[in-house]
A and B are shown apart, each in its own frame.
Chain A
Amino acid sequence: MPLISFTDKGLYCEAGQFYIDPWQPVDKAVITHAHSDHARPGSQSYLCHRETLPLLKLRLGPYNYQIVEWNEKIYLNEVMVSLNPAGHIIGSSQVRIEHKGEVWVVSGDYKTEPDGISGDFEPIPCQTFISESTFGLPIYNWKPQHEIYHDIQNWVRSNEVAGKTSVLIGYSLGKAQRILHALEEVTGNIYVHGAIWNVHETLVQAGHKLPAVQRITPDTPKEAFKGSVVIAPPSADGSAWMRRFANHSTGICSGWMQVRGNQRRRNADAGFALSDHADWQGLLQAVKATGAQKVYITHGFQSVFSRYLNEIGIDASEVKTEFGTEDEETSSPDPLKGEEPIY
């Protein structure tokens, strides 16, 4: 029996009797991070990193939660488990599992470039590595974060000069906080959508230092948006909610914006390839750094990425999961739609 098997409920460690990011309710769930395709409701108990806890409570409600610090070793039925930073969003972790000298690591979602808020990704030596592959094509190579921030800042400034409201579209948990950091230098006049406000408040109460923002409500006067910057989730883009902004320009922040077609299809005025996932080089480096003899590739471009790894001498197989919603056919889903409730 391998240490982790791929079951219809999710990644299962039989020796430790727990699941990692299961997509059906189980007894014991170890959670990598608080995004909804990794953290689902209904399980008896959850284990996660301390910083993930308030986000899980926000998203799942009250459950039996257990928290750990990064690199803190705990035992679940003879199996040693620890969480290590994955650099994806606040609290996001890789799961390291050790049993009888064998070490497996489940990456969850990860980003190799430090972003200053999510914790820095740590490569962990292991025999078997299970990696995501959301951007597992060599066309996805991100510019350094400070350059993208610079692009966003310039765009915001030029909108300001043209008397336009800048509306930045980004996922409420993860992307929105990075956008805030990018904006910190250029403006203090920031409004946010309710979905982003909820996450923001949760993080601030948990002690994270984030720039001050104002929540948009039905009562916010339209004139208030003049010369301001607005952050809204993807579900708001193109919806009636946007009608409150008179003269505005829309910029989408997502790794998919790397490809012009996506940007044009979304009819955005600007696209910033700001991603919370590792790019092609990041994925390759991460896989190599583990020194793993066997690699399993999950959600994203799993067939392409695993074929390439095999060609460069790394034994890799693709695994179907219910992370993301994609298969080989829908290699780049529209990650900007849905998922997020409108408040």
Chain B
Amino acid sequence: MEGFASLLFTLGTSTKTNDKLHALSTYFAHADEKDKVWVIALFSGRRPRRTVSGTQLAVWCCELVDLPIWLFQECYHTVGDLSETIALLIPEKNDSYTPSIGGGPGATHPLHYYVEQFQQLEKATESEKKAFILQSWLELSSRERFVFNKLLSGTFRVGVSQKLMVNALARTVQLEPSVIAHRISGNWDPATTAFEQLLSEQSTQTDHSKPYPFYLAYALEGPLQDLGEPADWQAEWKWDGIRGQIIKRNDQLFVWSRGEDLITDKFPEYTILQSKLENGTVIDGEILPYKDGQVLNFNVLQTRIGRKNITKKNLQEAPVGLFAYDLLELNGEDIRHWALAERRAALETLVNSLQLPWLQLSPIVTFSNWEELTTIREQSRNLNSEGLMLKRSASAYQVGRKRGDWWKWKIDPLTIDAVMVYAQKGTGRRSNLYTDYTFAVKDGDKLVPFTKAYSGLTDKEFAQVDSFVKKNSLEKFGPVRTVKPELVFEIAFEGIAASNRHKSGVALRFPRISRWRTDKLPNDINTLEDLKRMLELYGK
């Protein structure tokens, strides 16, 4: 475990991509084979399932170190992270000090041992869980304990992109990064997959469910004119749903989300494709809430995400469609290297032949010059679209986020001026700083809270707001402070929908602070009326 903990520590403290790449490739060159498989899994979002709750961990930790739970909570609010709080509260082993490198005496079990134990815990009784966890806490060092807790509580995140991990791996195994990205995608169990096997050519041949890595676009960086001839480009609406891949191979149908979750069961509407599609077909598209030829607000789809079982009622209330973007595999052949125009032609033939009302081609937006396209883009919000996508007609379907051939050109967000009314301390890098705020709009002489926002200020601005909160707290509810309503911020968001779970009656999509309006007084903020008008305009 020390090697892995040390890797994470290095990744967490180095600020340069090259240093991270070096740390990872050094790790891959030396680590235990089974540990490497788990690192690939963990760094590509395959986290072990959470088998114990945060509260259980807190209570067990308090028992172990004989502290009252209120004191644990005080510590937690200062540290801002449960795993780290526990790691710090448990005293270090009494062993004489051993330098942190290598596996001398007192070395702990390897990473895969702990993660595989976690899988066993799913079936274990509470007392078995507790015994294993307490024992592990005591045998691990503080740094290892932190990582152990992160993995155990399902909160393991790493500030390293999958792409970087793949590049590091490519340095040690003599394979192209794009090939690795494909081989490690999809459905494999790190507990039973050997490193060699995972990266072998076979892995793409024997796993019929395996999706292709998604090609993702960067936001447009310069003026449109820089893209050259409009005729070389294909424009489409940018849809706001769930990007997905539909795979039919070996008489089976698989639906993958962009986060590489297998979500076939969530969309029974698609089952018919199992008989309609030929084996060896892979479609890239957007899963959208869709009814009677209309794309609906994303919020409709949200009622279906995260549900274990989809009921008939869900299907009626949140009907979905699929907007097909691209064709990646045809008759069992990987056609990603074809030009977009050729793939599109094949996709059109396929979709048209199926004649399913909910399966649509993502419409191509025709335009003859850039000015025209700029005007067209202004209709985006009325279509429940986020803007436009620009794809070079000659482009291949690449791996991951790449510049050059595909660009997204989103519309400006909606904005509203609001006053801060509550503040709470952040976590991680923002622990012990008030950085999580709730904002309100005016309703007559009352203030109505309507959204939270956590991002958008600079470190310096956060420090200033933090100091304001400390001086202007009115009341304390647990970790939350009510604050004198004085600071005005402009809140930007991507969409708005009616909600009966919020007092204000609205729910925002992707709210964030766009700027601090030091030029405005609380009296100048927007009203609940204004929000309702936006809901009327854009909330359908």
Contacts and interface: CB of A to CB of B under 8 A. Distances in A.
Given A261-B80, A330-B470, A139 B12 contact: no
A209 interface: no
Interface string B83-122: 0110011011000010100000000000000000000000
A143 B89 CA distance: 13
A81 B84 CA distance: 44
- Place the interface of chain B in its size category: 20 to 34
Contacts of A147: 97
Given A138-B75, A138-B89, A331 B97 contact: no
B431 A138 contact: no
A267 B429 CA distance: 10
B84 A141 contact: no
B15 A269 contact: yes
B284 interface: no
A307 B67 CA distance: 12
B459 interface: yes
A141 B84 CA distance: 13
Given A147-B97, A261-B432, A139 B78 contact: yes
Contacts of B65: 138
Given A138-B75, A259-B84, A260-B84, A329 B470 contact: yes
B264 interface: no
Given A259-B78, A260-B81, A329-B470, A139 B68 contact: no
Nearest to A329: B470
A270 interface: yes
A112 to B, nearest CB: 16
Given A138-B65, A138-B67, A138-B71, A264 B78 contact: no
B429 A264 contact: yes
A222 interface: no
A332 interface: yes
B428 interface: yes
B536 interface: no
B470 A139 contact: no
B13 interface: yes
Contacts of B427: 261
Given A150-B97, A258-B88, A311-B68, A139 B429 contact: no
Nearest to A337: B463
A327 B470 CA distance: 9
Contact of B91 (A141, A146, A267, A330): A141
Contacts of B276: none
B430 to A, nearest CB: 7
B162 interface: no
Nearest to B77: A331
Nearest to A331: B78
A137 B459 CA distance: 26
Nearest to A311: B68
Contacts, number: 78
A265 B78 contact: no
Interface residues of A, number: 33
Contact of B428 (A264, A270, A311, A331): A264
Contacts of B67: 138
A154 interface: yes
Interface in A148-179: 150, 154
Contacts of A150: 97, 99
A116 B149 CA distance: 37
Given A261-B428, A261-B430, A139 B99 contact: no
Interface in A299-342: 301, 304, 307-308, 311, 327, 329-332
Given A267-B15, A311-B68, A331-B432, A261 B97 contact: no
A21 B208 CA distance: 76
A146 B96 CA distance: 12
Given A139-B78, A261-B80, A331-B78, A270 B71 contact: no
B79 A139 contact: yes
Contacts of A304: 71, 74
Nearest to A144: B97
A263 B13 CA distance: 9
A264 B81 CA distance: 13
B97 A137 contact: no
B203 interface: no
A76 B430 CA distance: 49
B71 A308 contact: yes
Nearest to B426: A261
A176 to B, nearest CB: 23
A244 to B, nearest CB: 20
B473 interface: yes
B432 A139 contact: no
Contacts of B428: 260-261, 264
Contact of B459 (A139, A265, A327): A265
B158 to A, nearest CB: 14
A311 B78 CA distance: 21
Interface of A: 137-141, 143-144, 146-147, 150, 154, 258-265, 267-270, 301, 304, 307-308, 311, 327, 329-332
8 contacts: A138-B65, A154-B99, A259-B88, A261-B430, A264-B429, A265-B429, A267-B15, A331-B78
Interface of B: 12-15, 65, 67-68, 70-71, 74-75, 78-81, 84-85, 88-89, 91-92, 97, 99, 427-433, 459, 470, 473
Given A261-B427, A265-B459, 13 more contacts: A139-B75, A139-B78, A139-B79, A144-B97, A146-B97, A260-B84, A261-B79, A262-B431, A263-B13, A304-B74, A329-B470, A330-B470, A332-B78
Interchain residue pairs A-B with the least CB separation, the first 8:
A261-B431, A139-B88, A264-B429, A329-B470, A139-B75, A304-B74, A147-B97, A261-B80
